[in-house]
Chains A and B, each alone.
Chain A
Amino acid sequence: MLTVPSVTPDAISELSAREMRRAMARRWLFRFSVLIGWVAFIVVWYFFSRVVFNPRQLPEPHVVAAESWTIITEQDFRTHMQASLFRVLAGFLLAAVVSCGLGWLIAYNAWWRTLLRTIVQFTVSTPIVALAILTLVVFGVSSLGPVITTAVVATPYIMMNVAQGLTGVDRRLIVMSESFGRTRSQIITGVLLPSSLISVLAGARLAFAVAWRMELLTEIFAASEGVGFQIRRSFESYDVRGMIAWTVLYIAVMLIFENLVFRQIERRLQGRTA
């Protein structure tokens, strides 16, 4: 019952060639606007450091770039970045694992749902600076503190989205699976997981962004290495250049990470749902 349109192959290839050209043009336009965005950002930066403040308060972009290069080549950039990266990832993974269990409870158990929602409201509305200081009080200067606090702050985002994903699962697909004799684990991997994936991924992305910021903040208070610690050291010695350079490097690594991991996963998933 496939219908074949009554147009010639030539006409089709002509049509698709034109569509290809349009798609290419759109892609370049998109890249171009990204470039313009960056240029505008740098121009605004120059404007602020020269006109609004002065270069000693807010160093110019090329100065920060040079400083960043010095940090990468001459200081122990790798040690500190690795320390921070490790803590972010550890905290994030811890949050992800805990979230799956708690999200499941929220989705399927009314009592846990009420309890955990209350806790979430409480944690989400707690200022993160307070949490960072609390980390220092509870864990002292250690690696464990930032990891735990990062996990605590990131958990609600993944957890709520896991729950949302699970409650959004089409019950009828589960009934279908059961009627065809699928096992519990087959239903989990075949229906529950893929159908909540989009929602879980959105939550994970949000949680990741929060984890980066939380981790940096706890390091400022409660660490003896890591990017946050370096920023504090620069601050204590009135080294604005170093502070901004470390921040910029941190953001750069975070953006690269985001693009490598989440964008790629999302790209793979596109077109597979709904």
Chain B
Amino acid sequence: MATVLIENLTKIYPPTITYPHRVQALGGVNMSVTGNVFVAVLGPSGSGKTTLLNIVAGVETPTSGSVRAVQDGVPAQVGYVFQEPRLLPWRTVLNNMLYVQDRKSDRSRREAEFYLTMVGLNEVAHLYPSQLSAGMQQRVGIARAFLVNPDILLMDEPFSHMDALTGRSLREYLQRVWLHTRKTALFVTHDVSEAVELADRIVMLRPGGVVFDDIPVNLPRPRHPDDPAVRAVEGEVLRRFDSMEAAVRFGAQAG
């Protein structure tokens, strides 16, 4: 079973030539995620969501505090879906998939094709990324993250660059693949309805990178965005968001 344990995590970016101030991206985040759950991390722009995922993925170092991502006591394998597809433009779709695999065998090839089929893209496996639409490219990104058989799945606003219709169908794809594998998932978003549609639990971050709220979402799957129950939870989350905004504003006035 995979566990992500985040304790007192802070990240302060040092001043740069272009922006000569220290930036506190994360200000003491505590959270733990265990088992086959889908957790949404919800927060406004600049609240440190990407930073948080990068630290969990091990591509960014924390300033203080600790992150442990383990699977049965050993370091967990993560699969990362980024805000933009991040495919290698000089490789075909299939070869982009094979790039993240350690062994190049018939089996790994079949696995790659399996996940491409899952997101409806097996027919274009031999094309280059530039020959695909943005939505198709992002689906390759999703398939690639699942392909490494991750213990923990990290997703950073994967649909925020998409138009509403594409985003909607991609969420469906994601739900389908996730229900098939049920990997521990950390899904970053600033879209409330997206969070409610996908997550078992919503962790809200506020600017400065502090956990503000932690809301369980107990709705049956698969969920539909138009379902009244989904709408109701959305309303509740939005209300808490408003109270967070008020708190932030009040805090700013007081300080």
Q: How far is the CA of A274 from the CA of B82 in the complex (A)?
A: 19
> B89's contact among A2, A182, A273, by CB below 8 Å, is which?
A273
B124 touches A179 (CB 8 A): no
- Give Cα A179 to B82, complex, Å: 11
Q: Tally chain A residues at the interface, Cβ within 8 Å.
A: 20
A195 part of interface (Cβ distance < 8 Å): yes
Q: Is the CB of B128 within 8 A of A179?
A: no
0/1 interface trace, chain B 28-70, chain A, CB 8 Å (1 if under): 0000000000000000000000000010011100000000000
Instruction: Please name all residues of chain B whose beta carbon is closer than 8 Å to the beta carbon of A195 when the two chains form the complex.
Output: 90
Q: Closest residue to A274 on the B side, CB-wise? A: B89
| Contact A182 B84, CB 8 Å, known A2-B124, A175-B54, A271-B128 | no
Chain A stretch 242-257: residues in CB contact (< 8 A) with chain B = none
A55, CB-defined interface residue at 8 Å:
no
Whether the pair B82, A176 counts as a contact (CB closer than 8 A) is yes
Residues on the B chain within 8 Å of A127, using CB: none
Number of B residues whose C-beta is below 8 Å from A?
26
Q: Is the CB of B120 within 8 A of A179?
A: no
| Contact between A1 and B136, CB atoms less than 8 A apart | yes
A-B interface contact total, Cβ < 8 Å:
50
Pick from B59, B99, B130: contact of A175, CB below 8 A.
B59
Residues of A contacting B77 in the complex (Cβ-Cβ under 8 angstroms): 181
Which residues of B, 118-141, contact A by the 8 Å Cβ criterion? 120, 123-124, 128, 130, 136
B211 within 8 A of A: no
Tell which of A2, A179, A274 touches B59, judged by Cβ atoms closer than 8 Å: A179
B173's closest neighbor in chain A, by CB? A1
Cα of A191 to Cα of B130 in the assembled complex, Å:
17
* C-alpha gap A173/B57 in the complex (Å): 14
| Interface residue from A181, A191, A271 paired with B88 (Cβ < 8 Å) | A191
B interface residues, Cβ below 8 angstroms from A: 54, 57-59, 77-80, 82, 84, 86, 88-90, 99-100, 120, 123-124, 128, 130, 136, 144, 148, 154, 169
12 residue pairs from A and B, CB less than 8 Å apart: A1-B136, A173-B86, A178-B59, A179-B78, A179-B80, A180-B80, A180-B144, A190-B99, A194-B88, A195-B90, A272-B89, A272-B90
Footprint of B on A, CB under 8 Å? Answer: 1-2, 172-173, 175-182, 190-191, 194-195, 271-274
